[in-house]
Amino acid sequence: MKRTAQEAGISSEGAAASETSPQKRVNMPKKNNHRMHAHINPFTPLKMPTPQNTRFADWSLHYPSYYGSTDNNKDRIVVNTKHYKIAYETEASQQDGPTPTVLDIGCGYGGLMFELTKIFKDELILGLEIRDKVANFAGEKINSLRINSGYKDCLNTAVLRTNAMKSLHNYFKKDSLEKMFFCFADPHFKKSNHRKRIVNTALLTDYCYMLRPGGKVYVVTDVEDLHNWQVSKLEEHPMFERVPEEEDQADPCVKAMREGTDEAQKVIRREGNIWHAVFKKRDVTDQAQMSAIEAEYMEKFFD
């Protein structure tokens, strides 16, 4: 049975910490050296390695301290980009170690990840980013923060370059995720491009498969039309229900995604509007109830 980080007796502050001198320091990466277009067409063919299935995803490369490494994998950066490559040629040697439970999809330069690592000390956080140079920046920053803190910070944080619309099932098993964040996604304004939106009916079913019962989907944007679209798709899906307002307001993740991301800070500076919503996966154990939900879903979308 797969262990969580907490069950393994590991925390982000003490996870097999390196004995390397904390005086070792490296320069932080600069965004100016990693600039790219704000968005990439998710349907554009991109040549990047992808694991055949979840058994080929080696999480020890991304979270070495949680897998017994005392040297941060020799400070090797692994992001799945042209510069920081991954080869998914064989099954991972350790199949029962902790895996990511918190996903930031379209993580950009990693602003939300660095806020979430303060909230979740014993969960593995993973940012997914499709843009090569941007993923490199986030990976370099994570590695720099690990080294400069004496291998105490960001041990539970990693970034991976992939196309989340196509390859999530290659990385994550059923009921394995606790939280999924979609922050300031590409609005794809043209109606003909709505199928490219990262929150849509078909993809929500995929997300539902990977989320644990009670697992949450967080969406935030400064585009009201996109917000209404995302909320409507989540409300229409029979396996998601909106989190009550009082629970929403007490959730520290809401503040983090509304204020901690790079895009959120841009909106705040220009005094723009921000809309968010939080939904959770229904915990359905009764087979009759599940059959009724499936029938409702089929009638709504396929009649």
Is residue 205 marked as binding?
no
CA dihedral 139, 144, 147, 152 (to 10 degrees): -70
**186: annotated active-site residue:** yes
Residue 164 phi, psi (nearest 5): -65, -25
Q: How far apart are CA 269 and CA 272, in angstroms?
A: 8
The DSSP line for 208-241 is HHHEEEEEEEEEEES-HHHHHHHHHHHHHSTTEE
**Residues 13/147/19/66 CA torsion (nearest 10 deg):** 50
User: Does 57 appear as a known binding residue?
Assistant: no
> Residue 206, annotated ligand binder?
no
For residue 262, say whether it is annotated as part of any ligand binding site. Answer: yes
273 carries a ligand binding annotation: no
Rounded distance between C-alpha atoms, residue 213 and residue 189, angstroms: 32
- Euclidean distance between CA atoms 188 and 196, whole angstroms: 7
Ligand-binding annotation for 163, yes or no, is: yes
Q: Whose CA is closest to 14, among 117, 115, 122, 88?
A: 122
Q: Where is 177: in which H helix or E strand?
A: strand 177-183
Answer yes or no: is 107 a known binding residue.
no
User: Does the annotation list 106 as a binding residue?
Assistant: yes
Which amino acid belongs to residue 225? D
- Among 132, 186, 222, 303, the active-site one is 186
Contact call for residues 285 and 144 (beta carbons, < 8 A)? no
Q: What's the CA gap between 71 and 18, in Å, rounded?
A: 5
**Do the annotations mark residue 54 as ligand-binding?**
no
Q: Which are the catalytic amino acids?
A: 186
Instruction: Extract the annotated binding site for S-adenosyl-L-methionine.
Output: 106, 129-130, 163-164, 183, 261-263
Instruction: Extract the annotated binding site.
Output: 106, 129-130, 163-164, 183, 261-263
